[in-house]
């Protein structure tokens, strides 16, 4: 990691807007920042071809009441909200170079101190929220659905799914639709982080899994050792760092 600091400025230009300061957040025990998350969402979703990977700034602008990403929006979202979402997502589709997409990945930065994500799959008709904090997941899975931490966020994601369905040219009706065949999991089962700082790495690995498997595969269900989760994410941090350094060459 220290050697990377000696890279000439023009080397970092190749992975703009990543700087060495951003790169250093891949160090052991550090929280990944927005630039690192956005870099890999952009790169991996551009090459994958069917996942609309949104930036870390989408959630705070459209899904939550403010930039803290703590309290999800409530009430009826307006036609203006819908137009802004469509404008943003069409621009993002162009930035990723996607002609077609059938799923959406949304990284969420809660209080600038914790990463988790949401995933919408139009093909499998699922909306899932992935949070690698064990206490958050297990505590809320035992609660009635409407009392769970992410219940309000799930309602906003249902609205977003309807909006993006129209963008895709299909009718998705989820509001007060008791007969829908869509599945909603506000606290999906994931591998838990054993510390407070590996959430960003887990979030990027969630993205890897949905790109590869369209779901999170745990334990023996993950057929790729390269993508399997472990309690020690140091090796995965190194692989992310190596990928950026290779892109600098």
Strand partners, 40: none
What fold is seen in the domain 3-248? Adenoviral Proteinase; Chain (3.40.395)
Amino acid 48: pLDDT = 65
Amino acid 91: pLDDT = 97
Could you give the 3-state DSSP secondary structure of residue 194?
coil
Alpha helices in 49-126 (DSSP H): 56-62, 79-96
Could you give the 3-state DSSP secondary structure of residue 45?
helix
Q: What is the dihedral of CA 138, 176, 120, 115, to 10 degrees?
A: -40
- The residue ranges of every structural domain in the chain are 3-248
Amino acid 23: pLDDT = 95
pTM higher than 0.75: yes
Amino acid 2: pLDDT = 53
The token pair at 195 is 């510390």
| Gap between the terminal Cα atoms of the chain | 16
The token pair at 27 is 């160090």
What are the average pLDDT values for consecutive 10-residue runs of the chain, which has 249 residues? 53 86 95 97 89 97 96 88 96 95 98 97 97 92 91 96 96 84 94 94 95 86 74 92 92
Strand partners, 118: 106, 129
């Amino acid at each position: 990691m220290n050697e990377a600091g000696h890279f000439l400025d023009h080397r970092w230009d190749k992975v703009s807007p990543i700087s060495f300061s951003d790169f250093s957040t891949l160090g052991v025990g550090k929280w990944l920042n927005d630039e690192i998350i956005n870099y890999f969402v952009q790169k991996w979703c551009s090459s994958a071809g069917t996942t609309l990977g949104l930036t870390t700034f989408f959630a705070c602008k459209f899904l939550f009441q403010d930039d803290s990403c703590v309290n999800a929006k409530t009430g009826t979202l307006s036609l203006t909200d819908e137009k802004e979402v469509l404008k943003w997502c069409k621009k993002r589709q162009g930035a990723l170079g996607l002609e077609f997409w059938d799923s959406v990945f949304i990284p969420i930065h809660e209080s600038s101190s914790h990463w988790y994500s949401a995933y919408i799959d139009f093909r499998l008709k699922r909306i899932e929220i992935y949070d690698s904090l064990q206490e958050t997941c297990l505590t809320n899975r035992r609660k009635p659905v409407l009392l769970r931490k992410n219940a309000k966020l799930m309602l906003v994601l249902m609205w977003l799914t309807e909006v993006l369905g129209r963008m895709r040219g299909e009718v998705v009706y989820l509001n007060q639709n008791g007969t829908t065949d869509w599945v909603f999991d506000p606290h999906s089962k994931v591998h838990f982080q054993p510390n407070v700082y590996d959430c960003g790495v887990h979030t990027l690995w969630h993205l890897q899994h949905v790109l590869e498997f369209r779901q999170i595969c745990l334990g023996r269900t993950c057929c790729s050792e390269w993508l399997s989760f472990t309690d020690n994410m140091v090796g995965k941090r190194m692989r992310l760092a190596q990928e950026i350094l290779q892109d600098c060459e």
